[in-house]
C-alpha cells in the first residue's frame, strides 16, 4: 500500500512541478497530537510516532525520527523503500542536497511549517540554487481519497472552579502587555492558547481536550475567535460575552484585523505557520515577532489549578494502584494461553481510570512495553505487536489521564517475576537520578538544562545514559507535553518558575531486553528554608518497585526520601482503593532500611 501511495504522491508532485515534498508530523496549529485528517505522515509511511518528518523525492524517500523512535520507526517502516535518518534539520538538508539538482524545487505546505523551522533548509538549499516553493494544495491531500473530515465538535466552557481566573481577567492581563509592546493585537495561533485564554475545552484532537481554534486578542481585551460553526452553542456565547466575536471562517480573522484598524500584530513565528504570516504581510500589517506571552502565562498554574492537579493525581494514583495490585493475578491467569498481554494491560488500566470521577480521556496513548518492547522508548502497542505478559521479567507502563481538574502522566517499571541481576543496578541508578531531581533546591533563574545532569549522574558513573529529555511541562486539563519549560540536555533558556508542572522521568533502555523509567509529575514552588530559592513538590502518587532496588546503592538521604514518599502514598491512597489494593499498597510501601 505504501508503495502505491508513494507513487501517487510522486505523480502529484510532477503535476505541480516540484521534485520533492516535505511531510511533517504536525498540523496547521503545530499540534503534537493531531486529528485523523492530519495524520499525513502515518498515512504515507506507517510511522505513528508523535515527532518526525518525511521527504518524498522523484526516486527516493526518507523518514527522519529522533532517538525516542529509532526502533519504532524501523519496525513500522519494515521493507518499504524509505530510508531512515536522524531527525535533524542539517541531516534533512544533507539528504535533500544529495537528491536534488541545481535549479530544482522542494515543495512544502505553508500551513504545516513555521519560518524558523524552514530557515536552515532555505539557507542550505539556496546555496545550491534549489528553491523552497509553497504549494497551494498539499499533494498528499490531493491523492488521499478516503481522508477523514476535519473534526468540529462542541467547544465547552471550562468552569471557573477549575481555572481559578475568568477569561475576561486573563484577556485584560495579557492585553496589558500589548500596550507595553505598542502592538494592536496578539495572534493566538493554536487551540491550546485559545483554550487557556477563553477558558474553553473541546474534543477535536485525540488526548488533547481542545476545540480547533485560533484568534486575535486586541489591546482593549476584546477578541475575535475562530471556531467551526458546529462548535458554537448558546452556552458558549454566553460564557464569552459580547467582548469576543466568534467567526466560522478563518479568513474572517484577517478581515477583523482590518476592521479593528490593526497595524501591528504580536506573533510568535515558532508556533505560527508560514501561511498565516503571509496573510498578515499581505495586509501590510507590521509583525512583532516575539515569544507568545500566553504560553508562558499558562505554564505557571495558579492555586486553584495546583489544588485541582493534586486532587486529580489522588484519584489517578488510586486507579493506577488498583491496576498494579491486580496485574500479577491477571498475568498468572493469562500465562498458560498467552491471553493477557501488553494491550490487555492497557485496557485494564483504562477501565480502572474510567471508574474515577471526572475521567475524560487518556492524556496520550499508553506505552505498555514488556521485555524488549519496553526498550522502545515511545513504543505504541497494537494487536499485532502486543507481547503476552509472563510471570517473569520486567514490564514498563507509561500512561496518563485527562481530568477537568488536572492532567496526569506517570511511569512505573514492574518486576513480574525473576529478572536479570544487572537490572537491579540499572533500576537503582535511574531511581537515584529521579531522587536527585525530586530533592533539588536551586536559585531562582535556573533553567531546566542546568539541572538535567542531576538525573543522569549515577548512570554516567557507570557509562550509561538515556536518549530523551528528563522532564517536560504539563498543562492543566490541556496538553501532557506543554512548553516552554523542560528539563533536558538541550538549552531552553527558560527559567523554572513557581507553579510550573514538569515530569521527572530518567530512564535506561537495554535493547532487546527491557526498559526502565520512573516518572512522577512535580511542580515548582518557593523554598521556605531559603529565600530566593525554589524546589519541587511531588504530585504523582504511586509506589516505586521495591523488588528492583539495590538498597546498598542508595544513600541514607535517598532512602529517607523514598520511605517518606511511600508513607505519603500509603496514607493518601489507602482510603481511596479497594480492600485487595489496600493489602497490596501496605506491602508495596514498606520502608527500605
Architecture of domain 156-292: 3-Layer(aba) Sandwich (3.40)
Strand segments (E) across 185-331: 185-188, 200-201, 214-218, 223-226, 244-247, 264-267, 286-289
∠ CA 58-63-66, rounded to 5°: 155
Q: What is the pLDDT of residues 154-163, one digit of tens each?
A: 999 999 999 9
List beta partners, residue 62.
55, 83
Cα dihedral 52/57/61/66 (nearest 10): -20
Which pTM does this prediction carry? 0.93
Please check whether the domain covering 303-581 is classified as CATH 3.90.950.10. Answer: no
Cis amide prior to 518 (ω within 30 degrees): no
Q: Is 256 helix (H, G, I), strand (E, B) or coil?
A: helix
Helix (H, G, I), strand (E, B) or coil at 584: helix
pLDDT at res. 200: 98
**Contact criterion met (CB below 8 Å) for 395 and 413:** yes
| 540 neighbors 566 (Cβ within 8 angstroms) | no
Reduced to 3 states (helix: H, G, I; strand: E, B; else coil), residue 61 is strand
Q: What is the DSSP letter of 341?
A: B
Q: How far apart are CA 30 and CA 191, in angstroms?
A: 10
CATH 3.90.230.10 in the chain, residues?
A: 303-581
Q: How far apart are CA 394 and CA 307, in angstroms?
A: 34
Report the distance separating Cα 504 and Cα 521, nearest Å. 6
Query: Are 558 and 432 spatial neighbours (Cβ–Cβ below 8 Å)?
Result: yes
- Tell me how far apart the alpha carbons of residues 593 and 566 are, in angstroms, rounded to a whole number: 13
According to the model, what pLDDT value does residue 529 have?
85
Closest listed residue to residue 219, CA positions, set 188, 265, 251 = 265
Collapse the DSSP code of 559 into the 3-class scheme (helix H, G, I; strand E, B; otherwise coil) and give the result: helix
CB 565 within 8 A of CB 543: no
Q: What pLDDT score was predicted for residue 68? A: 75
* The pLDDT value given to residue 1: 54
Q: Is domain 1-134 in CATH 3.40.350.10, yes or no?
A: yes
C-alpha cell at 70: 529509532
Positions in the chain whose pLDDT score sits under 50:
none
Distance of alpha carbon 278 from the chain centroid: 28
Over 458-511, what HEC string results? HHHHCCCCCCCCCEEECCCCCCCCEEEEEECCCCCCCECCCCEEEEECCEEEEC
- Say how far apart CA 411 and CA 427 lie, in whole Å: 13
DSSP state of 80: S
Q: Provide the H-helix boundaries in 300-366.
A: 303-334, 342-354
Grid cell, residue 288, equals 512583532
Amino acid at each position: 500500500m505504501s508503495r502505491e501511495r508513494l507513487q501517487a504522491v510522486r505523480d502529484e508532485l510532477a503535476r505541480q512541478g516540484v521534485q520533492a515534498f516535505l511531510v511533517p508530523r504536525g498540523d496547521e496549529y503545530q499540534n503534537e497530537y493531531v486529528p485523523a485528517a492530519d495524520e499525513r505522515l502515518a498515512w504515507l509511511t506507517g510511522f505513528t510516532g508523535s515527532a518526525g518528518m518525511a521527504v518524498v523525492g522523484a526516486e527516493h524517500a526518507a523518514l527522519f525520527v529522533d532517538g525516542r523512535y529509532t526502533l519504532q520507526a524501523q519496525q513500522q517502516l519494515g521493507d518499504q523503500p524509505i530510508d531512515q535518518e536522524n531527525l535533524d534539520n542539517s541531516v534533512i538538508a544533507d539528504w535533500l542536497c544529495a537528491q536534488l539538482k541545481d535549479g530544482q524545487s522542494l515543495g512544502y505546505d505553508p500551513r504545516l511549517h513555521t519560518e524558523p523551522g524552514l530557515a536552515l533548509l532555505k539557507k542550505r538549499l539556496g546555496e545550491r540554487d534549489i528553491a523552497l516553493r509553497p504549494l497551494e494544495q498539499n499533494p498528499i491531500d490531493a491523492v488521499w481519497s478516503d481522508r477523514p473530515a476535519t473534526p468540529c465538535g462542541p467547544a465547552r466552557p471550562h468552569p471557573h472552579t477549575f481555572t481559578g481566573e475568568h477569561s475576561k481577567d486573563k484577556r485584560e492581563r495579557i492585553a496589558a502587555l500589548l500596550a507595553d509592546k505598542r502592538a494592536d493585537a496578539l495572534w493566538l495561533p493554536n487551540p491550546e492558547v485559545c483554550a487557556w485564554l477563553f477558558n474553553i475545552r473541546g474534543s477535536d484532537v485525540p488526548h488533547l481536550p481542545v476545540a480547533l481554534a485560533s484568534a486575535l486578542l486586541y489591546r482593549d481585551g476584546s477578541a475575535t475567535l475562530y471556531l467551526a460553526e458546529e462548535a458554537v452553542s448558546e452556552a458558549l456565547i454566553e460564557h464569552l460575552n459580547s467582548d469576543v466575536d466568534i467567526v466560522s471562517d478563518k479568513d474572517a480573522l484577517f478581515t477583523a484585523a482590518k476592521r479593528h484598524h490593526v497595524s501591528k500584530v504580536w506573533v510568535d513565528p515558532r508556533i505560527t505557520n508560514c501561511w498565516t504570516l503571509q496573510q498578515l504581510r499581505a495586509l501590510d500589517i507590521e509583525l512583532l515577532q516575539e515569544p507568545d506571552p500566553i504560553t508562558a502565562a499558562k505554564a505557571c498554574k495558579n492555586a486553584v489549578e495546583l489544588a485541582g492537579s493534586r486532587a486529580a493525581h489522588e484519584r489517578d494514583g488510586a486507579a493506577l494502584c488498583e491496576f498494579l495490585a491486580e496485574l500479577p493475578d491477571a498475568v498468572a491467569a493469562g500465562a498458560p494461553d498467552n491471553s493477557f498481554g501488553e494491550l490487555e494491560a492497557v485496557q485494564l488500566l483504562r477501565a480502572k481510570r474510567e471508574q474515577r470521577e471526572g475521567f475524560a480521556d487518556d492524556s496520550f496513548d499508553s506505552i505498555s512495553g514488556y521485555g524488549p518492547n519496553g526498550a522502545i522508548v515511545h513504543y505504541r502497542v497494537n494487536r499485532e505487536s502486543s507481547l503476552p505478559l509472563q510471570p517473569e521479567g520486567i514490564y514498563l507502563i507509561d500512561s496518563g489521564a485527562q481530568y477537568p481538574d488536572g492532567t496526569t502522566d506517570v511511569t512505573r517499571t514492574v518486576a513480574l517475576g525473576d529478572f536479570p541481576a544487572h537490572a537491579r543496578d540499572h533500576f537503582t541508578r535511574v531511581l537515584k537520578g529521579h531522587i536527585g531531581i525530586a530533592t533539588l533546591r536551586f536559585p531562582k533563574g535556573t533553567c531546566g538544562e542546568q539541572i538535567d545532569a542531576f538525573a543522569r549522574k549515577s548512570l554516567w558513573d557507570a557509562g550509561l545514559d538515556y536518549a530523551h529529555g528528563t522532564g517536560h511541562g504539563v498543562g492543566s486539563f490541556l496538553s501532557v507535553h506543554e512548553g516552554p519549560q523542560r528539563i533536558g540536555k538541550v538549552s531552553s533558556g527558560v527559567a523554572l518558575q513557581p507553579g510550573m508542572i514538569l515530569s521527572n522521568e530518567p530512564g535506561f533502555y537495554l535493547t532487546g531486553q527491557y526498559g526502565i523509567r520512573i516518572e512522577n509529575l512535580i511542580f515548582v514552588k518557593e523554598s521556605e528554608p531559603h529565600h530566593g530559592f525554589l524546589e519541587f513538590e511531588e504530585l504523582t502518587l504511586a509506589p516505586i518497585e521495591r523488588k528492583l532496588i539495590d538498597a546498598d546503592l542508595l544513600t541514607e538521604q535517598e532512602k529517607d526520601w523514598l520511605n517518606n514518599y511511600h508513607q505519603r502514598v500509603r496514607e493518601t491512597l489507602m482510603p481511596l482503593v479497594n480492600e485487595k489494593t489496600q493489602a497490596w499498597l501496605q506491602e508495596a510501601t514498606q520502608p527500605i532500611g
